[in-house]
A and B are shown apart, each in its own frame.
Chain A
Amino acid sequence: MARMTGAQAMVESLLREGVDIVFGLPGGACLPFFDKLYDAKLKTVLVRHEQGAVHMAEGYARSTGKVGVAIATSGPGATNCVTGIADAYMDSIPIVVITGQVKSFMIGNDAFQEADTTGITRPITKHNYLVKDAQQIPRIVKEAFYLARTGRPGPVLIDFPVDISLAEMDFYWPEQVSLRSYNPVVKGSSSQIRKAAKLIAGSKKPVLYTGGGVIIARAAKEVKALAEKLQAPVTNTLMGLGGMDASSPLFIDMLGMHGAVYANRAVDECDLLISIGARFDDRVTGNLEKFSPNSKKIHIDIDPGSISKSIPVDIPIVGDVKEVLQELIQLVHPLETREWLAQIAQWRKESPFRYKDDGLSIKPQYVIQQIWEATKGDALITTDVGQHQMWAAQYYRFNEPNAMMTSGGLGTMGYGFPAAIGAQMGRPDKEVWCISGDGSIQMNIQEYTTAVIQKLPVKVAILNNGFYGMVRQWQHFFYKDRFSSSTMDCNPDFVKLSEAYGGVGIRVTRKEDVRPSIIKAQSIKDRPVFLDFVCPKDENVMPMIPSGGSMEQIMDMA
């Protein structure tokens, strides 16, 4: 056993966990830790705001399938992490956040840069720790990573007082985690799976509704196999995009508030809804009483808490969706769904995703289509939150899991750019695009520096409509065009801003320049590029089911 300080033990434990990159920003309470990171065999990416570090860890985690790590100091460093942690909690992203803390004997004394970090983050972490004894560091780190990535994944926080980081301990590495109170159910109940197969057998109008759980469980192949065997259509949630190859004829696009008319109608009229790794979020269901009213429901999820939380289901199956699907596929037989698929195809023909192209102005939907074509659908896409996010979900055709990284649950503006940085760090081989808006990009734009220093060729498409566009859209439909605090009257010059940061900025004002500018951005390999697409101000995301509404209230392009 090697004698070392707590800070050294923390670094050593991260290395034992296979961490090769951390995102962070130092401060008084984590100086001993950063001192040990200085010559550690892992890369430390200095960010410009701690929220950026957490979103980078998220982007890294989603693009690599590993646990992302963010590090911040005590007090404001820790509170700056809060939004990112809440984001990871809502979207079940496996990250470990390590925060400095004041000296353990000062805790509770309102010391300089003290905040009750474990108290603040308790409801937004899967679990958190306050390290009180340096000897416990390896066990805590081992547990933290295990908790973050197993079961329903999520963020775990380790609060690390500065005196503990200086205290000496004897290093050991626990090969096993032993937690008597934590046993996530992985294998689904076979009798439930048999019941599900029986229920499926009678269906004439089935729909598979799949979410982020499919991506986390790496079960895209199984979803496709089940869909093809049953000849059942598949709709994805926002978090589930990429979980079903968008080029498959069985894929009927996203459902929910801004989902496809045909996906929502299919869910509305189906006789069997199989929910896989999704949680009946209110943006999917709208009015609970009118959501898929005539269907039998099967719900497969690793989190028992997600089952029957909002929508009661006939057959719940708790377990890892990949394992459950593998078992279920063996037990089901092809269904006679030709009429049903033809019906959905008809609805699709009547009401596809569409927009009015005047041939002159740069429609945001057109930009996304062009990015999709130019990247051959092979890029990693992150988005911010708002109209551009919905258009990205509608118009980029995702054909692999984790190609779409977006803030689904919390809806965090400012997620996209740092997440793209994290994704590019994790996957240098991939082209990474952040689709953003002029509102969202200004939250966490400080990470431009981080991207420049790391020489990351992240491409940011700003769909610039001079508004907080989704707010404008709601004010247009529901608040009589009273655009209270939603106009962006004085946006910065994103081209000059890019140059000031050391990146490349391109403003695009004409439709015919859209594709060439995308191609130009693709040719830049050593620094970030901002593409400022000047779009019309009044474009709305269609279709739309108003909040709490149902299919009866769906609005679509005239």
Chain B
Amino acid sequence: MAYVKDTKIYRRLFSVIVENEPGVLARVSGLFSARGFNIVSLAVGETQDPTISRITIVVDGTASVLEQVNKQLNKLIPVISVLPIIDQDMLAIELTLAKFRPGPRVRAVVEDAKRKGDDIEIVHEGPSGVIVRIIAAVEKEPAIFKELGELELIEICRTGKVALSKTRTFGIFDKSQREVEVEEAN
């Protein structure tokens, strides 16, 4: 096989099951910076088993970089398992909180978006700002962001994507299911 320089960038989501221990996030994020991998978003939280955390990472990279991300994550000792989730199999959401200057248009825009089916709520209204909560389930940015952009945005906070595979489950959580096949070189 001859070497071919690979330049096409893909976006890929990895669900990473790790020991819930101090320093584990530093190991994962340190790996990304040390190897020059590009994190788009990263979300971490405890699972139903308090000894296990799940880190959900969205990465941009070439096919060979994405393969290395998977392999290098697997090499970290506290990483129990890595599942790259492909788009067709992914249920992903991202939560956004956005604060706007109070004004008559905010509520109108939000109500309009709700009618169009967006998952959006005003969760706080006060003299220093109106806070809107948006749950985006799809890959592309919801239209509401563009419309809200016309309002006076003060600050925004996004969680990064969290996701589950629709069909596959980590063996550690569901022994009845087929163990996830980690994509090894074999």
Contacts and interface: CB of A to CB of B under 8 A. Distances in A.
Given A308-B64, A312-B1, A179 B77 contact: yes
A41 interface: no
Interface string A219-251: 000000000000000000000000000000000
Interface string A285-324: 0001101011011000001110111011110111000000
Nearest to A128: B23
Interface stretch (B65-73, B83-91, B118-126, B136-144): B65-73
Given A180-B80, A305-B72, A122 B3 contact: no
22 contacts: A123-B30, A123-B34, A126-B77, A180-B80, A181-B18, A181-B78, A181-B81, A185-B184, A185-B186, A297-B1, A303-B75, A304-B71, A304-B184, A305-B68, A307-B185, A308-B67, A309-B64, A311-B3, A312-B4, A314-B1, A316-B186, A318-B186
Contacts of A182: 77
Nearest to B65: A309
A122 B185 CA distance: 25
Interface residues of A, number: 36
A185 B34 CA distance: 25
A123 B27 CA distance: 8
A550 B13 CA distance: 37
B1 A296 contact: yes
A182 B172 CA distance: 14
Nearest to B80: A181
A119 B186 contact: no
B26 interface: yes
A297 B4 CA distance: 14
Given A122-B30, A308-B185, 19 more contacts: A119-B26, A180-B80, A181-B79, A182-B77, A188-B186, A293-B2, A294-B2, A296-B1, A303-B75, A304-B185, A305-B68, A305-B72, A305-B74, A305-B75, A308-B64, A309-B64, A312-B1, A312-B4, A312-B64
Contacts of B71: 304-305, 307
A181 B81 CA distance: 7
B146 interface: no
B19 interface: yes
A147 B75 CA distance: 11
Given A123-B30, A181-B77, A309 B68 contact: yes
Nearest to A192: B186
A189 B186 contact: yes
A118 interface: yes
A49 interface: no
A127 interface: yes
Interface in A259-295: 288-289, 291, 293-294
Nearest to B2: A293
Contacts of B77: 126-127, 147, 179, 181-182
Contacts of A291: 3
